[in-house]
Every structure is written in structure tokens, then in C-alpha cells.
Amino acid sequence: MNDIQYFKRTFTYIKSYALRYWIGLTLYSSQQFFIPLINSVFFGGVTAAILSKNMSEIYNSIILMVIMFCAVLALVGVGAYLYIVTSSYAERDMSIDLFKAFLKSSVENLEHSGEGIAKLNTDVSVATNIISDAFAPFMSNVLAAFLSTIAVLTIDLRMGFGVFSIGTLIFLAQTKFAKPLATLGKAQLETNTNSIKALSNILSGALTIRAYNRQDRSLIQFDNENGKLMKISFKRAFIGMWQDLITTIQGWLTIIVTFSLGGWLVITSDVDFSLIMMVLPFAAAVCSAMSQVGMTYAGLYPPLVAAKRVFQVIDSVKFDIKDVSSSDETVWNGRYDIDINDLCFSYKDAVTNALSNITINLGENKMIAFIGKSGSGKSTLLRVLTGMYERNGLNMKIGDLSFSPSNIKEWRSHFAYVDQSCKLFDVSISENIALGAQGEVNKDHVKEASKRAFAHDFISELNEGYETACGEKGSNFSGGQKQRIAIARALCRRAPVLVFDEATSALDPESERSIMETIKELRRDHTILITTHNLGTIATADKIVVLDNGRIAEQGTHEQLINKNGLYKKLFKESQVAKTSTLHVKP
């Protein structure tokens, strides 16, 4: 898409409010012509009254000016309200579209939280300046320059051409700054994004930074990004200084040309001096408007750069994720057995596959454990299975429902997912647990899920119980407490397939054993998918799938795999040795 197409696309966001926007913009812009008109009528009338020594005409001119000014003020006020409100609606709608795009975006994109925050907070606001702060002055000044030029030409053709020539020169001088401003605008947005990303990394890793005494290094990193922003601001300020200088020269030239040309006409022809005073406000309006048109034309480029960045995110979402109720491809037979056939998967821009030729049947109401060394593909497989990646060509089925990006919500509705990060939101415990619930949920459902996750006891001991705020990222609780709340959230969802990705890693041994006993019981009416490094806890799984470098190395029950003397037996022995070593570590 070129600049004009991005410009037009940005304006599609005022389509629903177009009538109000254009009426508002027209009324608001009218001040640029009506103010010079009022001044022209007033100056001409007062000058003629002074020359004729008629005091009553001076009074009449003042009264007329006040009446006209009040009328223009009322029109401009209404216009400003209409166009500012509709511009705000447009910014809101673009923000919502961008936020929807992030929600639908791939997991890889969602992991760049700092960049996402920058685009939501900065790029949308700058992009919608095309509609408000950039385009409105541009159109206002174009209209003022056109109408004021017509007015001057009507008053006197010769003075009209003189004034228009000066205005054109000023306009051309101002447009020379368009390209440098566009380059600086793009650099500023990118640097601002990097600055927010750096800040996000520093804040999210604050404990690690403090533990390793790297506060000074973090400060230098953040200061470097701010230093780049400062240099860009200096360059923009330097260009602004030249633009202001041209504006000052424009005002000076307007007065010189108007009075010099007007004086020559008064001396050499029958032009009246009052005519010069009528021309002067329009001449100033023409030159000022032409200068402002050049400046606002240059000012359109930074918002265009921001609009490109916003639309690139929106356009990156290739699939239309349908609601569960609207999925035309849903074929459900009530079974929850999962079939994976020759599944291959690679991360965005990756050279090699993260998963290759995965073929497996996961029976209904069974417990299936995925194990392997770090980086073997366990978490990736579970994320793919739960629909975290909206890709075509992933050969997976639940019952007779084939995975497709178009029925992604239907697919995800059958899973409850708990990973080792145990993300909690800055709301109450009750709201966090009820977050994933499908259908009606009440306090009894929340408490029942908490009891099954062994979270009810510690929650009940809190002063505010289930209404206790979790804090940002669950900062008010320990790692083990956060995991129990996250597990309770999964159980409250009442999904047929429960997925636990190292979900007990932060629990003490007693709590882990209790949770694992609960998980084992859940397979009576749920399919359980689990990954863990503590292989002793999954020996009773109905099936164990061993992954190695993104491929299935072997699969079977604990006894079958032990008898094979393969990778599983090696990993199991290492797990037992590590556990024994931990228990007998010397003080």
C-alpha cells in the first residue's frame, strides 16, 4: 500500500460518523476565512470613516464586528465539538481493531508485550492525528488560502496576484521539510517502541536485575534509548526553528508587499487607501494559510508512518476467528479422543521444525504424559494441541472435529490449560478462578474448584478471602499459591480435556502429591495431558510419550518403556538419582 492508500484507509474509521465529522470540520475550518473577512470589513469601514471623519460609522463598524465575531465563535465551537468527538471515536475504533489483532495474533507476536504496548499507546494516537490534529488544520488552511485568494482577487486583481505569489513561495519553502520530518517521525516511533520494550524488560525482570546487582547496567540501557529519542527531538526542534523563521519572514513579506504594492496603486491610480486596509487581513490570511499548509503537509508524514505500523499488525492476522456458535465447520460427535496425524510445526521465521512427524492417538478419559529433555518439544506440542497457534495444515482432531483456524474458538473450548508461568491478573482471586469458566459460574463453583486444587484452605485464611486482590502478575502470592489458583481456574472451566504443562513445578512435595492424586482422579471424566520433570509422579499414566528433538522417540506405559531399555528408562533413572541426591545432600 502506498501513502495515499494508507491515508484513505485511516479515514475509513470516520465512516460511521462521516456526516458529523465533515460538518464539524467545515464549521471549524470556517474561522480561517471568516476572521479575515471580519477584519477586512472592520478595517475598510473604520479607515473610510476616519478619512471622512464620520464617528457614527466607526461605532457601526465596531458593533458589526462584534456581532459577526460572536456568530463565528458559535459556529466554530459547534464545529470543534463535532469533529473532536468523531475523531476520538475513530481513535477508539482503531485501538479496538489493533487490540483485536493482538488477541488473534500468533503467540510469537503476543510475547513481544513491550512492542504491543507501544503500538497501542503511541502509534494509534499518532496515526489518528491524520483525522484530527494534522488533517483538520491542513484542510482549514487550504480552504482559507483558497477563499482569501478569491477575496483579494475580487477586491483588486493586481494585489491578488502579488499576494498569491508570496504565499506560493512560502508554501514551497515549508514543503521542503516534509521528507526529513517523515524520516524523523519513523525513527521516533521505532525508538519510542524500543524504549518501552526496554522499560518492560527491566520492570518484568526487576528481581533478577536486583539479585545480580545490574541496576546500573539497566539504567544505562534505558538511558541509551532515551538518548536516541532526545537526539531525534533535537533534530525535529531544529527543523521547527527553520519553519518558524519562514513563518516570521512570511508575516514580514506580507506587510511589505501589501503596503508597497498598495501604496504604488494609490499613488499611480484611482485606488482608495481604505481598499489597502481591506486587502491586508486577506493578504495576511493567504500567506499564513499557505505557510501552514506547507507545515501541516509535512506534518502528515509522521502519522502516516504510525498508520502503516498499525495496519501492518491488523493485516498480519490472516484468519477470521469465528465464535463457537457461528462455526459452520463444527462436526461434534460427543467424543473427546484426540488424533494427531503426521503433525509438523515450526515457529515463525524458524529454519527447522520444532515438531516433526508427530502421530499419536490420545484416548478419551485417559491420562497421557509427555516427557523429554528440555527443548525436546513437550510444551510446544501442548500449545499446538490447545490451539495457541492458528496455522493451516495442522492435522489434529477431537472426535470428528478437525482443527482449523476458522473454528479455533470451538477447538479451544474443549481445553483447560495450566502452564508453569501461572499467569494471574490484577483482580480478585474469585475473578481469576472464574475467568476461564464456560457458562454460568457462581461462588460454589469457584470454591469447589479451589478445594480440588488444594487452594481453599490458604484462601480462607486471608482477611478478604476470595475477594483478595492478586496484584500485578499475582505478586501478592508465592509461586506455589499462584499455581494452585491457576489449577483451580482450569478446574472451574469444566473442560473435557485438562492440560498441565509443568503445572506443579512450584509446589512443595506434599502439595504436588495431593494435586497429582486429584489429577489422577479427574481422568474418570476428563482427558488429562501432562508434562513434568518429576517422572515418578506419572508412572501410573495410561500412556507416556517420550519426545526427543521434536520427534516421538517412544511411547507406551511405564512398564513397557522400562522394559524397552530406551530413552525413557534413562530419563527415569536420572530423575530418581536427582531426587535421591537432593534428599541426601550434605549440609
The H or E element spanning position 553 is strand 551-556
Indicate if the pLDDT at residue 137 is higher than 50: yes
Contacts of residue 210, Cβ cutoff 8 Å, sequence gap at least 6: none
Measured between alpha carbons, how far is 403 from 410 in angstroms, rounded to an integer? 9
Q: What separation in angstroms does the CA of 433 have from each of 194, 413, 447?
A: 34, 16, 9
Q: Which three cell numbers stand for residue 330?
A: 463444527
Q: CB of 64 within 8 A of CB of 41?
A: yes
pLDDT at 299 over 80: no
On the CB side of 154, how many CA atoms lie within 13 Å of its CA? 10
Q: How many CB atoms neighbour CB 247 within 10 A?
A: 19
Residues 514 and 367: their CA atoms lie apart, in Å, by: 16
User: How many angstroms from the chain centroid is the CA of residue 586?
Assistant: 52
Q: 338: helix, coil or strand?
A: strand
DSSP 500-531: EESTTTTS-HHHHHHHHHHHHHHTTTSEEEEE
Cell for 569? 528408562
* Tens-digit pLDDT profile for residues 418-452: 887 778 888 888 888 888 777 677 888 888 888 88
| Contact residues for 106 (Cβ-Cβ < 8 A; gap 6+) | 348, 389, 390
The per-residue b/e assignment along 255-294, b for 16 or more CB within 10 angstroms, e otherwise, is eebbeebbeebeeeeebeebbbbbbbbbbbbbbbbbbbbb
CA of 379: how far to CAs of 196, 390, 419, in Å?
A: 29, 16, 9
pTM, entire model: 0.61
Side chain identity at residue 244, one-letter code: D
Phi, psi of 580 (to 5 degrees): -65, -40
Residue 411 C-alpha cell reads as 477447538
> What is the rounded CA–CA span in Å between residue 366 and residue 36?
82
Task: Tell me the average pLDDT across 64-88.
Answer: 86
Q: Is the pLDDT of residue 456 over 60?
A: yes
DSSP 3-state of 187: helix
3-state secondary structure of 375: coil
- Quick check: 325 pLDDT over 70? no
Range from 112-121, 204-213, 263-272 that averages highest in pLDDT: 263-272
With CA atoms as reference, report the closest residue to 498 among 523, 466, 535, 477. 523
Provide the percentage of residues in the chain whose pLDDT is more than 90.
2
Pairwise CA distance, residues 294 & 174, whole Å: 5
Give the range among 63-67, 111-115, 374-378, 397-401 with minimum mean pLDDT.
Answer: 111-115
Q: Within 10 Å of residue 498's Cβ, how many Cβ atoms?
A: 24
Give me 144's grid cell: 482559507
pLDDT tens digits, one per residue of 536-572: 778 888 899 999 999 999 999 889 998 988 888 888 8
The radius of gyration of the chain from alpha carbons, rounded to an integer in Å, stands at 35
* C-alpha span between 473 and 99 (Å, rounded): 20
Residues 6+ apart with CB under 8 A from 352: 346
- The answer, yes or no, to whether residue 108 has pLDDT greater than 60, is no
Q: Which domains does the chain have, with CATH numbers?
A: 3-316 (1.20.1560.10), 335-414+496-587 (3.40.50.300), 424-495 (3.40.50.300)
Task: Select the more confidently predicted residue: 8 or 250.
Answer: 8
CA distances from 549 to 359, 373, 374, 386 (A): 15, 9, 9, 20
| Residue 126: exposure state from Cβ atoms within 10 A (0-12, 13-18, ≥19) | buried
Give 180 or 549, the one with higher predicted confidence: 549
- Residues 223-230 have a mean pLDDT of 80
| pLDDT at residue 554, rounded to an integer | 92
Residue 72 pLDDT exceeds 50: yes
Tens-place pLDDT, residues 19-29: 888 888 888 87
Going across the sheet that includes 497-501, the strands are: 415-419, 497-501, 527-531, 367-371, 543-548, 551-556
| HEC-encoded secondary structure of 50-104 | HHCCCHHHHHHHHHHHHHHHHHHHHHHHHHHHHHHHHHHHHHHHHHHHHHHHHHH
Give the span between the Cα atoms of 365 and 359, in whole angstroms: 19
By the 8 A CB rule, do 87 and 132 touch?
yes
- Residue 13 to residue 413: CA distance in whole angstroms: 32
If one compares 428 and 326, the residue with the highest pLDDT of the two is: 428
